[in-house]
């Protein structure tokens, strides 16, 4: 399936909080502009393209802020892995940089500009058919440039240009649904609001999470205590209000390890249903893994075995397969909590503590994964790992295995980063990387378990991913 990268102005369309003087861009809140860009995406979806709309897919319209150098590198990696670059060319300095990068890489370009707002003169050096000489200096590329009057005219002309090239629309109607997915985890309640359509990955409209540590009372008493239930219903009520504000067509709620293990799980679910009218589906570890694995494999084109890591607070699941079906399933009885409780983070760890944690994780992992999986080079670390590595400014390489996952790092380099990260003080984490110091202990534990699993499966390359259970639920329901 071909992939298109959709380039358009971002910073000029964003609103930056004047108090956040250290940020160079803000958040896109103009719903008309968002709908316009997604209507352009809809055209390509109807013609059978995988899409990258970086404004949304890499940063949620600016709500997730990244260092400019890192978000630029991600965008360039998406250009490298795309077949077509479509650009709205009348505005945006970054857009023109993306055009130049794409032209030098020999990508096919489709550029549109609004009447009366002609873009840079230099874009006319892109099309091959404007030069009679074809000297092959690297600038000429397969380029279409057209003018449009308004948004409706752009959509009509874009469809015309694709049709003129012999491409065929696979769908005349492209309906998007808005879904709210609530994930009740061991430590954290997460809400994601998606707009999605059949055949494409969902786009995040809103994301929120709140840590309440449900697993703590389950571990100590076997039950979820009254204060945790009250706190949980309060957060869920707020999440349902957010779903209403976003006009969600449906809300799906799921629960994982903590709710599975609690002796009073049925009572808790009844309380949530009676007070909020919300039905929570308990996910078994196998179903949880199926969802995460399915979301990842939807994006991976490699024919070799891929390991998918779903790492939680109370348990860890790993699925390995070469297609849509998991051929090897591994359930580890440990999660980040087992390390954070044993080695609480205060202000960095020394190397001895790190080695103790690695030994603990290795011992648990090799009991379950006793030999490497033949041919398994890649392990996909899900659950927001890409955002974490971008925030930490970890140097990532280009991944060509997936139209959605375009970044990777060797397992050895990932371990080097992990060792450096675990030594950091709270003040460094907060000031340098915009991370909540309270999360550092969990991040250290997550890194250690991921490295142990990678080594055990034989993987040498780690692909950081933001996909999680919610993406799998959406994709499974859209089939």
For residue 139, is pLDDT > 70?
no
pLDDT reported for residue 140:
66
| Per-residue tokens: 209 | 């999470």
Adjacent-strand bridge partners of 310: 317
Q: Which domains does the chain have, with CATH numbers?
A: 3-164 (3.40.50.450), 177-283 (3.30.420.40), 286-478 (3.30.420.150)
In this predicted structure, the answer to whether residue 301 has a pLDDT above a threshold of 90 is no
Which of 174, 474, 79 lies closest to 295 in space, CA to CA? 474
**Tokens in use for 433?**
């990387």
Name every residue whose Cβ is closer than 8 Å to that of residue 376 and which is 6 or more positions away in sequence: 304, 305, 306, 307, 320, 457, 458, 459
Nearest to 415 by CA among 458, 383, 452: 452
Model confidence pLDDT, tens digit, residues 306-350: 999 999 888 899 999 998 889 999 999 999 989 999 998 878 899
What is the C-alpha separation between 303 and 200, in angstroms, rounded? Answer: 20
Starting at the edge strand found earlier in the chain, the sheet holding 84-88 runs: 50-52, 3-7, 84-88, 108-114, 143-148
pLDDT of amino acid 194: 86
The CA distances from residue 150 to 34, 117, 424, in Å, are 15, 12, 52
Q: How far apart are CA 181 and CA 473, in angstroms?
A: 8
What's the whole-model pTM score? 0.84
- For the segment 154-202, what is each residue's pLDDT rounded down to a tens digit? 999 999 999 998 888 887 666 788 999 999 987 789 998 988 876 566 7
Query: Per-residue pLDDT tens for 200-252?
Result: 667 778 889 898 888 788 888 999 999 999 999 999 999 999 999 999 999 99
- How many Cβ atoms from other residues are within 10 Å of residue 329's Cβ? 16
pLDDT score of 413: 97
Q: Is the pLDDT of residue 92 over 70?
A: no
């Amino acid at each position: 399936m071909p992939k298109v990268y959709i380039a358009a102005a971002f910073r000029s369309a964003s609103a930056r909080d004047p108090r956040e003087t250290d940020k160079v861009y803000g958040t896109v809140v103009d719903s008309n502009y968002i709908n316009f860009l997604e209507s352009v995406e809809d055209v390509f979806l109807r013609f059978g393209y995988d899409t990258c709309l970086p404004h949304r897919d890499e940063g949620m319209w600016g709500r997730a802020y990244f260092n400019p150098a890192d978000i630029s590198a991600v965008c360039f990696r998406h250009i490298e892995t795309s077949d077509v670059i479509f650009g709205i060319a009348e505005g945006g300095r970054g857009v023109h940089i993306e055009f130049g990068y794409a032209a030098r890489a020999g990508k096919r370009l489709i550029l549109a500009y609004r009447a009366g707002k002609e873009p840079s003169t230099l874009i006319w050096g892109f099309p091959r058919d404007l030069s009679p000489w074809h000297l092959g200096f690297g600038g000429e590329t397969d380029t279409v440039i057209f003018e449009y009057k308004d948004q409706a005219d752009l959509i009509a002309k874009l469809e015309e240009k694709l049709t003129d090239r012999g491409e065929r629309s696979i769908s005349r109607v492209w309906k998007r649904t808005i879904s709210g997915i609530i994930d009740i985890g061991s430590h954290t309640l997460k809400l994601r609001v998606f707009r999605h359509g059949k055949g494409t990955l969902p786009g995040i409209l809103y994301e929120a999470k709140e840590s309440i540590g449900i697993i703590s009372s389950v571990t100590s008493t076997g039950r979820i205590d009254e204060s945790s239930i009250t706190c949980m219903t309060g957060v869920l009520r707020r999440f349902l209000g957010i779903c209403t504000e976003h006009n969600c067509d449906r809300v799906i709620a799921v629960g994982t390890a903590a709710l599975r293990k609690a002796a009073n799980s049925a009572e808790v679910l009844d309380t949530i249903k009676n007070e909020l009218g919300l039905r929570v589906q308990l996910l078994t570890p196998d179903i949880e893994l199926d969802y995460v694995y399915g979301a990842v494999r939807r994006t991976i084109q490699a024919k070799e075995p891929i390991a998918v890591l779903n790492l939680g607070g109370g348990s860890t699941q790993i699925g390995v397969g070469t297609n849509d079906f998991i051929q090897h399933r591994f359930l580890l009885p440990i999660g980040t909590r087992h390390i954070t409780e044993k080695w609480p983070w205060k202000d960095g760890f020394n190397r001895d503590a790190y080695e103790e944690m690695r030994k603990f994780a290795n011992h648990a992992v090799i009991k379950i994964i006793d030999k490497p999986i033949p041919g398994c080079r890649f392990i996909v670390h899900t659950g927001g790992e890409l955002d974490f590595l971008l925030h930490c400014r970890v140097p990532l390489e280009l991944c060509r295995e997936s139209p959605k996952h375009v970044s990777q790092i060797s397992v050895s380099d990932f371990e080097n980063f992990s060792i450096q990260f675990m030594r950091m003080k709270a003040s460094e984490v907060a000031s340098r990387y915009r991370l909540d110091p309270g999360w550092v202990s969990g991040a250290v534990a997550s890194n250690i378990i991921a490295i142990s699993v990678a080594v055990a499966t034989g993987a040498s390359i780690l692909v950081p991913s933001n996909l999680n259970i919610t993406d799998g639920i959406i994709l499974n329901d859209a089939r």
